[in-house]
Amino acid sequence: MLEVKDLRLGFSSARQMLAAVDGISFTIAKGETFALLGESGCGKSVTAQGILRLLPAAGRVLGGSVRLDGEELLALPEADMRAYRGGRMAMIFQEPATSLNPVLTVGRQIGEVLERHLDMTGEPARQRMLELLRQVGIADPERRLDEYPFQLSGGMKQRVMIAIALAGEPELLIADEPTTALDVTVQAQILDLLAGLQAERGMGMLLITHDLGVVARMAHRIGVMYAGELVEVASREDFFTNPRHPYTQALFAALPEVSRRGQKLVTIPGQVPSLAAMPSGCRFADRCPQVMAICREQSPAWRETTAGHVVRCHWQGDRAVDDAACHSLTELDLQAAQPFLEVAELKVHFPIRKGILQRIVGHVRAVDGVALAIAPGRTLALVGESGCGKTTVGKALLQLIKPSAGSVRLGGSELVGLSGRRLRAARRHMQMVFQDPFASLNPRLRVGEIIAEGMGALGLEKERAAQTAAVIALLQQVGLPAEAVGRFPHEFSGGQRQRIAIARALAVQPQLLICDEPTSALDVSVQAQILNLLKALQADLGVAYLFITHNFAVVEYLAHDVAVMYLGRIVERGQAEEVLRTPQHPYTRALLSAVPVPRLEGGEQRIRLPGETPSPANPPAGCHFHPRCPKATDLCRQTYPETTTISATHSVACHFPG
Amino acid sequence: MSGFQVVVLWSDVLVWLLVLAGIGVGVLIAKSPPLLAAWRRVGANRVGMASATLLLAFIVIGLLDSLHYRVALDGKPGVKTQYAIEVLSVLDALVTPLRTQNEKTYSAPFATHLYAKESIERPGLGTVREYPRLKFGASHLADTATLADDVAATALRTGALALFAWLALAAVVAFRCGGWRAVWRGDTVFAWNAVLATLAAILLVLVPLFALAGDYHVFGTDKVGQDVLYQILKSVRTALIIGLVTTLVMLPMAVLLGIVAGYFRGWIDDVIQYLYTVLNSIPGVLLIAAAVLMMQVVIDTHPEWFATAAERADLRLLALCFILGITSWTGLCRLLRGETLKLRELEYIQAAQAFGVSSWRIILRHILPNLMHIVIIALVMDFSGLVLAEAVLSYVGIGVDPTMTSFGTMINNARMELGREPVVWWSLAAAFAAMFLLVLAANLFADAVRDAFDPRAA
Amino acid sequence: MLAYIVRRLLYAIPILIGVNLITFALFFVVNTPDDMARMQLGVKRVTPEAIEKWKVERGYDKPLFVNAAAGGLDTVTDTIFFEKSARMFVGDFGRAEDGRDIAREISARMVPSLAIALPTFILGLFVTITFALTLAFFRATAFDFWGVVLCVAAMSISGLFYIIGGQYLIAKIWRLVPISGFGDGLDAWRFLILPVVIGVVSGIGSSTRWYRTIFLEEVSKDYVRTARAKGLPETIVFFRHILRNALIPILTGVVVVIPLLFMGSLLTESFFGIPGLGSYTIDAINAQDFAVVRSMVFIGSVLYIIGLILTDISYTLVDPRIRFS
C-alpha cells in the first residue's frame, strides 16, 4: 500500500544541506505493522514527517518517492496533500501533553477532522466523536468531549490523539514513539489499544520506536535505521531469531537483562557520526567489530539472506557479537550485613495553600512513610512509575528536600535536622547522579572545575596540584581521557556527560551513590556503557547504590535488592530474586507483566491495570492501590494493609499477598 | 594659549570607567569559550557588524567629547592664573571653527545669506532691508554664484581622499584575511565585508562633510546662530551617557535583587517583589517627573556646590541617569528572578547543593554565569529605548539641563520653528536623522546580540 | 477564583501605602516645604514672612508625621502626611496652585483623555495584531524579512518625530484636519482623528515585532504540527489554533494598560492642545505644581493596580487551564 523509495530528506543549515535521511526504501502492506527501529538521531522521526510532508521549517525533501496506492505523494500540490493528511494517512506523536491544543476542547479537536475529511458536522459528528472516544477506551465520553486537554491524564491524552488520528478513517497510521512518554502500565494499555484497532480496521501502521520490547509486541516487519540509512529489514521472526547486521546484533547484546547478571554488557564503541561528517563507506564501519577494509571504501549494497530478510552489510558471517566473549564481572558476594543507610518512616509532604489567607488546606504526600535499608557495596533498586515519589525519596535522603518526618541514619548517625558543617560532613558519604546529563553539568564550567567542586566544598584536596591529579585519576576511572579536564560539557555526548557526573559524585569518595534514573535519557548502547561502569566501580570501590528507576530490565541486571513504590509508599521489598521471581503485591506483578520483552515468546499472560496513578494530593482511602487492583475487596477500600513478612528479607504491604 | 587645566566631570569618570569595564569584560570573555563563541556569532552577523561599526563611530565622538579642560586666561605674570568659565572638550578643540563661527540667527544649510532680513546701511542707497551675507558661512567666496562648484569640488577632492584611505584599510584587511575575494564574498569568520562597506559609507560621508564644515554651515544654524552640526556632535555624548550609564546604574541592583529573590524565595522574595511592584505601579514618566522636579529644587537651592555651569549640567545629567535607572530596574529584576527560579531547580545546582556548596558560591559560580546572556541582551536592548526616552523627557522639561546640548533639547528648541513662514526645518531634521541613525544602529546591534546569545535561537 | 481576586485586592493596600510613602518621601523629606516655597516664590520675593504665608496657605506649616502639640487624634491627623497623603485614599486631593479643586479637575479631564487614548489603543491593537499575524504567516520569506526591517526602522524613530512630522504634513501642508484643539460632542472627531492616527502609527514598529515573536513561538509548538497532520489548511491552523493561543499572552499583556488609558498621553495631548489629564500633568510639571503631580502619581498607581487585577481576571477568562482549576 505505502511504498517509500529512495527517500532523501535533509536540513538546510548555514550554507549547506545535511541529509538526515539518505535514501531509504520500504513498503507497508494493508494490515501490516512496519516498525522503524533506531537510536536517537538516526532519522526515523524525520522519515515519518517526510512521508506526511510535515517537515520542520528547515527540512527539505531532497529526492525519492513516496507512493500511497500508487499515487505519488511528493509530487502532489500542497492543497491536495492536505486531503491525505488526517484522511487516508494519520499520525500520532510522542508527547501527548504538548501535541494537543491547550485552549480547544477535545470535541472541537476531533470534530475538525470529521468536518475536514468527512464533511460531518452537528449531531452526527457528535455521535461519531462519542463512538470514537469509546473505541479508544475513554470512559464517560459525553463529559470528556467538552473538556480541555489539561483536564485529562497523560494516557487519556494519548487516547484522544489516537481518536483524532482515527477520525479521518485512515488506511495508514504513523505512530511516532507513541508510548515513550508514558508509564509502563499505561504503555501496555495503549499498545493493546493500537494493536486491537489495527487488526479491527485492517490499517497499515508505521511504528517508530527505539524500544525492542515495543517492536516485539507490535511489529510484523522491522526496519533498522542507522545514521539516516536502513541497514536491515526483516520479518518479526527473522529479526528476533537471526538478526544479521552487526548493529542489530549489538543492540540486542547491549540490553540489560537477568541472564546477563554478572556479565559485562556488550557496548558499541564510539558514537553515531554527525550529519556533517558522514563516512563515505559503511556508516557503521567505525564502530563495527567485524569491520573490513572494504567497509571503509564502499557503501554495502542490499543482500537478501533469506526470503524477505535483507541486510546492508559486507560481512557475511553469522554472529558478530559473541555473548560468551563477554568476560564476567567479579561480583562482590556481600550478604546483607549491617545496613549502611537506614531510613524509617520518611515523609515528605508539600503543603497545598488555598483561599484568601493562603491557609494550608492539605498536603501533597509525595513520600508518605518510606522505610529502606542499604548495606555497604550492595545495590538497592527503588522502582516505581512517574509521580510515585521515588525521586523525592532520593533528594530527601541527601537533605536536598527537607523531610517532613522520619529518620535517615547514615552509618549510625541521624541526618534529619542536621545543618551547616555537620550536614556537610555527612554529605561526604552520600552523593547523587542525576537523570538528565544535559541539565546536570553547568555549561559554563570546565570539566575539571565541575569534578573538583565537591572536593573544594567539602575541603578534601586543598592543594591545587593534588586536586588536579585527583581529578585526572577520576576521569580515568570513569573512562575519559585526561585532557577532558580543560574542556566544556557541550563538547561531550550524553554518555560521556553521565560519566563526568559520576566522576563528580565519586570525587568525595562516597560510600553510597544515589542514581536517579541515570540511564533513562540515554540510548541502549550507551546505557550499557554506563551500567558496565557502575558495576565495575562497585566491584572496585565497594560503593553502594540506591538505584532509582522505572526500567525493570536494568533492575534485573543490576540490583541486589528491590523496593517497589506506589503513591509515596513502598508496597513490596526484598532481594531481587524474591521480588522479581515471586512478586507478592498485585502492583508488582502487573508492573512486571506490563514491561514489553524484546523476545519472540513471552508476554502471554499479561495483567492489565486499568486507569492511571492517582494524584498524591488526594490518595484513595484504604490501600492506595485498590481502585486499580483486580483483587480489591471492601477491606482494601477501608484500611491500608500492614506489612506482611514473606521471608527474612521479603515483605509486602497487601491484605492478600501472593 | 598659555595653558590649561584638566577638568574631570563626574560623567567623564563614569564614561572612562565604562571603557575600562568594557576592556575588562573583553578579557574575561576571551577566557570563557562559551561567551567567546556567542560573541563570534555576533561577529559573523553582517547586519550586526555594520551597525556596530556605526555605533563605534558614535562612541568615538562621545569619548572625544569626554576629555574636558579649561583654558587658562591670559593673566598678568605673577598673578595666579585664572581659568575660563567655559569647560571645553577635546572634541571642541578638534572642531573649533564649528564652535566659534556663530552667525546672528537662522541660516539654511550651505547658505550664503542669513535667513532673516536686516536693516543694512548701503552707501548711496540708505537703509535697506535685505538678507545679509553670513559672517562665516561661505565667506571665502567672492561670488556666491560659484557656491555649487566650490561645494562639488571640495566634496570630490575630499571624497577621493576618503576613498584612498578606505582602499588602504581594505587592503590591509584583505591581506590579513586571505584575499579580496574571501572578504568580498563573506567567507571570513568575522563579517569584514559588512564592516568595510559601512566604513566606506561613513568615510565617504563624514570626510567631505567635515571638510565642507570649515567653510559652510552644512546643516545650517539655529536661532542664536550656532552651527547645527556642532550641536549634533555634542548631543552624541549626552545620548551615549543616558543610554549606557543608566543601564549600568540599575544593573547591579536588578541582578542582585533578582537573583536573591529567585534563589532564596520565601520572605526575601516577598519583600523584593513588593518593592518592585510598588515602584512599577507608579507611572514611569510621573515618577521621573517627580524625582527630577525634586532634584531640580535641590540643585537650585545649593548653587554653591558647582564651580561651573558645565558641572551643574553634568550632575543633573547623572542624576537623571540614576532616576531613570531606579525606575527601570524592575523589568530586568523580574526577568532574572523568573530565570533564577527555573535555574535553581536544575540538576547541576542540586549537585552543588549536595556537596554543601554555600548559597553565595552557588549564585556566583552557577547562577550568575548562566544569566549573563540575559543581562547582556538587556543592556543592549535598553540602550535605544533610553536614547529615545531622553528626547521625550527633555522635550517635556524633565530631562537634561536646558544648557546641555542633547537631541531632546535641540528638538525642544526647534519645535516652534515649523510654525514659522518660511519653515526652518534643518535643526529638527538633523536632530531626528542623527538620533534615528544612532537608535537604528543600536537596535540592529541589539538584535544581533540577542540572536547570538539567546539559547533558544541557537 | 473569588478568593484569589479578594487576595489580590487586599495586596493592593500595602502597595498603595508603599507608593504613598515613596511619593511623600520624595516631596516632603528630600526637600522641606521651605525649599518649595522658595522655589515657588522666586528668588526676589523670598522673605521669611512670605515663606511662612505660602506654607500656611497650603497647609504645609504642620509637622511631617507627628503633631505633638495637637493632642488626641489630631496628633496623627493634623500633620502634612495625613492631610496631603493619607487623605488621597478617600479621593481628597486638595487644591492646585491656582486654587482649583484637583479632584474635580481630574474628573472633568478624563473624558478628552479617554476620547484619544481608547480609540488609539483599540485601533492600534487591531492593526498591529493584523500586521504581526501577516508577518508570521509569511515567515521566513522576503516579505517577512523586509517587514521586520521596517518594524525596526519604525521603532528607531523618535515618537516626537511622528507627532511633529504628522502634524506638519497632514495638518499644515495638506490642511486635512485642524492642527490642534478640542471640540465638544460630535464635532470632536475632527480634532481626534489626527492624534489617534499618529498614536497608532508610532506604536506599530515595536508592537508588531513583539507580537510577531509571540506568534512565531506558537508556530513552533507541537500542537500546530498535530493540526497540520489533520490536513487543515494553513489559514485555519493560524486562525483557529495559533491565534487563540497567542492571544493569551498578548491580551493579558495589554490588559494592564487599559486602566492607565484614563491618564491620557503626555506628548499627544500637549502637542494637540487637548484638555486631558496628560496635558494637565505636563502643565503641572512645568509649573512645578507639586500637589497636582502628587495626585497624578497616586491615581496612576491606583489605575496600574487595577490593571494588575484585571490582568489576573483576564487570564482566568481566556485560558481554560486557569478557568477550570
Count Cβ atoms below 10 Å from residue A260 Cβ, excluding itself: 21
Highest mean pLDDT among A446-455, B102-111, B289-298: A446-455
Task: Using DSSP, state whether A220 is helix, strand or coil.
Answer: coil
Average pLDDT, chain B: 86
DSSP string, A17-55: EEEEEEEEEEEE-TT-EEEEE--TTSSHHHHHHHHTT--
Count Cβ atoms below 10 Å from residue A195 Cβ, excluding itself: 14
pLDDT 10s digits, A508-531: 889 999 999 898 888 888 888 899
Residue from the list A423, A435, A439 with its beta carbon closest to the beta carbon of B348: A439
Query: Which residue on chain C is closest to A51 by alpha carbon?
Result: C229
Q: To probe the interface with B, which of A444, A449, A508, A548 has the most B CB atoms within 10 Å?
A: A444
What CA–CA distance (Å, rounded) separates C316 from A166?
33
What CA–CA distance (Å, rounded) separates B202 from B190?
19
Query: Which residue on chain A is closest to B455 by alpha carbon?
Result: A443
Q: What is the mean pLDDT of residues B125-129?
A: 79
pLDDT 10s digits, A545-566: 999 998 888 888 889 999 999 9
Query: Which residue on chain C is closest to B410 by alpha carbon?
Result: C160
Residues of B in contact with A508 (CB under 8 A): 355
Question: Which DSSP symbol is given to B107?
Answer: B
Residues of B in contact with C293 (CB under 8 A): 286, 289-290, 293
Query: Which residue on chain B is closest to C298 by alpha carbon?
Result: B282
Q: Which residues pair with B93 in a beta bridge?
A: none
* Residue keyed to cell 478557568: C323
C-alpha cell at B348: 547541576
Residues of B in contact with A429 (CB under 8 A): none
Q: Is C111 on the interface with B (CB under 8 A)?
A: no
Give ipTM to 2 decimals. Answer: 0.85
Confidence tier at A615 by pLDDT (50, 70, 90): confident
Residue from the list A400, A441, A444 with its beta carbon closest to the beta carbon of B354: A400
C-alpha cell at A306: 533469506
Instruction: Report how far Cα C75 is from the mean position of its chain's Cα atoms.
Output: 37
Q: What is the mean pLDDT of residues A5-26?
A: 85
Q: Which residue has the higher pLDDT, C290 or C14?
A: C14
C-alpha cell at A343: 531510613
C-alpha cell at A487: 574542556
Instruction: Report pLDDT for A651.
Output: 92
CA separation (Å) from A531 to A377, A383, A507, B237?
A: 15, 16, 19, 63
Q: What is the mean pLDDT of residues A637-653?
A: 90
Instruction: Report pLDDT for A377.
Output: 87
Among candidates B231, B228, B241, B174, which has minimal Cα distance to B403?
Answer: B231
Q: Is C163 on the interface with B (CB under 8 A)?
A: no
Neighbours of chain A (3+ CB pairs under 8 A): B, C
Q: Is A504 on the interface with B (CB under 8 A)?
A: yes
Residue from the list C18, C30, C304 with its beta carbon closest to the beta carbon of B294: C30
Å from A120 to nearest chain C CA?
A: 15
Q: Which residues pair with A63 in a beta bridge?
A: A8
Contact A457 B353 (CB under 8 A): no
CB pairs under 8 A between A and C: 87
Contact B392 C30 (CB under 8 A): no
Lowest mean pLDDT among A245-249, B173-177, C153-157: B173-177
Residues of C in contact with B289 (CB under 8 A): 281, 285, 293
Q: Is the peptide bond before B34 cis (omega within 30 degrees of 0)?
A: no
Q: What is the percent of chain B with per-residue pLDDT over 90, rounded to a whole number?
A: 26
pLDDT 10s digits, A186-216: 888 899 899 999 988 899 999 999 999 899 9
CA separation (Å) from A186 to A95, A133, A384?
A: 14, 17, 13
Residues of C in contact with B393 (CB under 8 A): none
What CA–CA distance (Å, rounded) separates C55 from A354?
50
Instruction: Report pLDDT for A337.
Output: 62
Contact A100 C245 (CB under 8 A): no
pLDDT 10s digits, A399-425: 888 899 999 988 878 888 887 778 888
Q: Which residues pair with A19 in a beta bridge?
A: A10
Contact B435 C266 (CB under 8 A): no
Q: What is the percent of chain A with per-residue pLDDT over 90, rounded to a whole number?
A: 33
Confidence tier at A388 by pLDDT (50, 70, 90): confident
Q: Is C172 on the interface with B (CB under 8 A)?
A: yes
Count Cβ atoms below 10 Å from residue B266 Cβ, excluding itself: 8
Query: Which residue on chain C is closest to B438 by alpha carbon?
Result: C156
Contact C15 B297 (CB under 8 A): no
pLDDT above 80 for C185: no
Contact A454 B355 (CB under 8 A): yes
Residues of B in contact with A400 (CB under 8 A): 350, 353-354
Lowest mean pLDDT among A164-168, A459-463, B363-367: A459-463
Q: Is B410 on the interface with C (CB under 8 A)?
A: no
Lowest mean pLDDT among A140-154, A328-342, B172-186, B394-408: A328-342
Q: What is the percent of chain C with per-residue pLDDT over 70, rounded to a whole number?
A: 97
Residues of A in contact with B353 (CB under 8 A): 400
Residues of B in contact with C39 (CB under 8 A): 297, 300-301
* Residue keyed to cell 533498586: A381
Q: How many CA atoms lie within 13 A of B86 on its CB side?
A: 8
Instruction: Report pLDDT for B270.
Output: 92
Instruction: Report pLDDT for B1.
Output: 46
pLDDT 10s digits, C117-166: 999 999 999 999 999 999 999 988 899 999 999 999 999 998 889 988 88
Confidence tier at B289 by pLDDT (50, 70, 90): confident
Q: Is A436 on the interface with B (CB under 8 A)?
A: yes
Backbone angles phi, psi at A333, to 5 degrees: -90, 85
Å from C195 to nearest chain A CA?
A: 37
Question: Which DSSP symbol is given to C87?
Answer: G
Backbone angles phi, psi at A64, to 5 degrees: 95, -170
Buried b (16+ CB within 10 A) or exposed e, B312-338: bbbbbbbbbbbbbbbbbbbebbbbbbe
Q: Is A431 on the interface with B (CB under 8 A)?
A: yes
Residues of A in contact with B370 (CB under 8 A): 442-444
Q: Is A58 on the interface with B (CB under 8 A)?
A: no
Do A619 and A543 touch, CB atoms closer than 8 A? no
Q: Is A350 on the interface with B (CB under 8 A)?
A: no
Query: Which residue on chain B is closest to C24 by alpha carbon?
Result: B290
Instruction: Report pLDDT for B434.
Output: 93
Average pLDDT, chain C: 85
Confidence tier at A129 by pLDDT (50, 70, 90): very high
Contact A54 C229 (CB under 8 A): yes
Contact C231 A86 (CB under 8 A): yes
pLDDT above 50 for C216: yes
pLDDT 10s digits, A37-66: 988 888 888 999 999 998 888 888 888 999
Confidence tier at A322 by pLDDT (50, 70, 90): low
Å from C75 to nearest chain B CA?
A: 28
Q: Which residues pair with B104 in a beta bridge?
A: none
pLDDT above 50 for B458: no
Confidence tier at A123 by pLDDT (50, 70, 90): very high
Instruction: Report pLDDT for B456.
Output: 57
C-alpha triplet B278, B281, B283: angle, nearest 5°: 130
pLDDT 10s digits, B234-283: 999 999 999 988 988 888 999 999 999 999 988 999 999 999 899 888 88
Q: To probe the interface with A, which of B347, B368, B371 has the most A CB atoms within 10 Å?
A: B347
Q: Is B44 on the interface with C (CB under 8 A)?
A: no
Do B116 and B131 touch, CB atoms closer than 8 A? yes
Q: What is the mean pLDDT of residues B60-67?
A: 92
Å from C173 to nearest chain B CA?
A: 11
Instruction: Report how far Cα A416 is from the mean position of its chain's Cα atoms.
Output: 33
Query: Which residue on chain B is closest to C27 by alpha carbon?
Result: B294
What stretch of H or E contains A408?
Answer: strand A405-410
pTM of the model: 0.87
Q: Where are the beta strands (DSSP E) in A119-212?
A: 172-176, 204-209
Q: Residue A349 corresponds to which amino acid?
A: H
